[in-house]
Structure 1
């Protein structure tokens, strides 16, 4: 079963300079090689995330998905960065849909699927013409349950544009940042956070009763973060690690809560970092 991701929009980048343009602008690894998708972000010069999603190869082109609410700004910025490069940027919002499937989808003409390898595997991202998506399920609960359990944050339900650094989402630990390539927009800030260890906010899983989105997560009398996506009685939140001494002595909303680290985390509660 394919689930329609109604809050995501697709774009296609093609042309002889597409690889260079994308490599020079987004955080992730970019190469014309088939295989699983990769996480990426488009940053402001100050290093804050303005768009994020997955990138995958489709023949000689690249397919990217972004939060629908950020699509206009993303399209505008990429056209600005293109300048005179030989790149065609196609906005697929009117013709294609973005979907998700737990297992590899059955091949169909026009359908392009890429495995999502984050956190050990999150299923498959699917992009297809609108006609193929007419019978897709509109219940996104299975997708959100899968990513909340893995603590994978997504723009829109978990954070707004210009509010988080890539490290805050764990992109540095899940191959969302290519640390071996040259400069890209916001690269100086990302590199400094890596080498100085200044990442203080990280994704965690919140367990509490009666959770609602944007509930404050409070530790030691201080707000450490806010609840994002809720699924199956647990939630995802981006938390100030240095404010959590005891992950079982916190509240979310007005209820006692417990915080859990995802299986892929190399960070720990109570960690502090110098001020960025």
Structure 2
């Protein structure tokens, strides 16, 4: 399958002798200047809320990152602020490059395997994307089946903690590297077990994104992007005491846990 265009994603390139230090010290993931699969990461607020998330891969002496296009301006502004006088060049590639995904193990451009099992992320100059397929629901269908939420489609800026989106369970957080923005909150949630919300796959939906999931008469959280009647929802686990009594827009739906889940319906987080 050729690469599929993803216009909802914006690409950035970080290079220079202090690029690794900047990214290592600011975002959640273990971003190293070495070849290999991409790393899932998030930029958090000091209060621990997700401001941007995406993948980062090392190639051609630079880090190649992608974020949701709706937060790209805010992400760039923040990273320039954190850079201060460090020797880092930040290139905004939105006018020159496109982001896509391939699922057949081969693609041209800057290619990195998605560590979440979602094929390969591709970044290439816009002039080299004439053979790419137009945007469709293929990537969304894959990630929904895997129970992986995505910013812009499933949640916005400053709405969720890193644990809420499963970042801790898919190696998007380095718990041993030391301080980064929001690290104290992440560490506290890990050690105290205070994650109340987690990704859940909801099937049998006949309602638009943003509609509430109701469990035993209580609002558990909104559904995200809907593809073929399925969506990822970041839900209050403690409110789903009976998975068979869950509705969306008044209609029964099926809720299942992602394959990577270490949590269960009905879990009650500590205060």
Bin the TM-score by the shorter chain: over 0.9
User: 2:209 aligned to 205, 209, 213, which one?
Assistant: 213
Q: How does 1:215-254 map to 2 (within 5 A)?
A: 215-254=211-250
| Deviation, structure 1 residue 26 | 0.2
Map Cα deviations across residues 200-238 of structure 1 (whole Å, 9 max, x no partner). Answer: 100010012413211110012110011101122211100
**Structure 1 unaligned runs (5+)?**
none
Given that 2:243 and 2:265 are in contact with CA atoms closer than 8 Å, whether structure 1 keeps it comes out as yes
| Deviation, structure 1 residue 69 | 0.7
| Deviation, structure 1 residue 139 | 3.1
Write the distance in 2 (CA, Å) between the matches of 1:89 and 1:241: 39
Aligned length: 270
Task: Give the secondary structure class of the aligned counterpart of 2:225.
Answer: strand
Task: Give the secondary structure class of the aligned counterpart of 1:52.
Answer: strand
1:143 aligns with 2:131: no
Write the distance in 2 (CA, Å) between the matches of 1:237 and 1:78: 29
Please report the TM-score for the alignment, with normalisation by the length of structure 2: 0.98
Match in the other structure for 1:4: 5
Write the distance in 2 (CA, Å) between the matches of 1:194 and 1:245: 23
**Runs (4+) off by over 3 Å:** none
User: 2:185 aligned to 178, 181, 189, which one?
Assistant: 189
| Deviation, structure 1 residue 59 | 2.5
Match in the other structure for 2:86: 85
Task: Give the secondary structure class of the aligned counterpart of 2:80.
Answer: helix
Write the distance in 2 (CA, Å) between the matches of 1:209 and 1:155: 20
Aligned Cα RMSD in Å? 0.9
Write the distance in 1 (CA, Å) between the matches of 2:30 and 2:104: 24
Task: Give the secondary structure class of the aligned counterpart of 2:219.
Answer: strand
Given that 2:38 and 2:114 are in contact with CA atoms closer than 8 Å, whether structure 1 keeps it comes out as yes
**Structure 2 unaligned runs (5+)?**
none
Map Cα deviations across residues 8-57 of structure 1 (whole Å, 9 max, x no partner). Answer: 00000000000100001000011111010010000000000000000000
